[in-house]
Amino acid sequence: MRRRDLVHGAWGLPLLSAQQTAKRTIDEYADGNIKLSHRMPIRRLSDEDLLFLQQIGVRWARIEFDSDGTYEYMKATVDRLARFNMRIYSAVHYAYREIDVQLGRGKRDQLIETFCQHLRDCGRLGIPVSNYDWHPANTYTTSTVLSPRKYKAREFKLSDFRSKVEKQAFDREYSAEDIWATYTYFMKAVLPVAEKANVKLALHPDDPPVAKMNGVAKLFVHYDGYKRAEQIAGRSKHWGLTFCVGTWSEGGNQMGKDVFGMIEDFGGRGKIFDVHFRNVSGPMPHFVETFQDDGYMDMYQVMKALRKVRFNGTVVPDHVPELAGDAGMRRAGTAYCIAYMRSLLRRANEEVG
Residues 18-32: tens digit of each pLDDT: 555 445 557 899 999
Q: Assess if residue 2 is contained within a domain.
A: no
Q: Residue 113 maps to which CATH number?
A: 3.20.20.150
- Residue 97 vs residues 93, 135, 244, 248, 296: alpha-carbon distances, Å: 8, 8, 18, 21, 31
- Adjacent-strand bridge partners of 37: 60
Q: Assess if residue 347 is contained within a domain.
A: yes
Contact 284, 254 (CB under 8 A): yes
299-308 vs 331-352: helix crossing angle, rounded to 10: 50
Q: Is the peptide bond before 208 cis (omega within 30 degrees of 0)?
A: yes
Element (H, E) at 337: helix 331-352
- Mean pLDDT, residues 53-60: 98
pTM: 0.92
Measured between alpha carbons, how far is 266 from 245 in angstroms, rounded to an integer?
A: 13
Contact 271, 262 (CB under 8 A): no
Q: Assess if residue 14 is contained within a domain.
A: no
Dihedral-angle region of residue 204 (phi above 0 means left; psi in -120 to 50 means alpha; beta otherwise): beta
Alpha-helical runs (H) found in 92-200: 99-102, 108-125, 158-160, 176-197
Q: How many domains in the chain?
A: 1
Q: Assess if residue 18 is contained within a domain.
A: no
Residue 4 has pLDDT above 50, yes or no: no
Residues 264-286: tens digit of each pLDDT: 999 999 999 999 999 999 999 99
Q: Assess if residue 3 is contained within a domain.
A: no
Q: Assess if residue 13 is contained within a domain.
A: no
Structural domain containing residue 147: 36-352
**Rounded mean pLDDT of the chain?**
93
Q: Assess if residue 106 is contained within a domain.
A: yes
Neighbouring C-alpha atoms within 13 Å toward the C-beta of 237: 6
* pLDDT the model gives residue 5: 46
Q: Assess if residue 30 is contained within a domain.
A: no
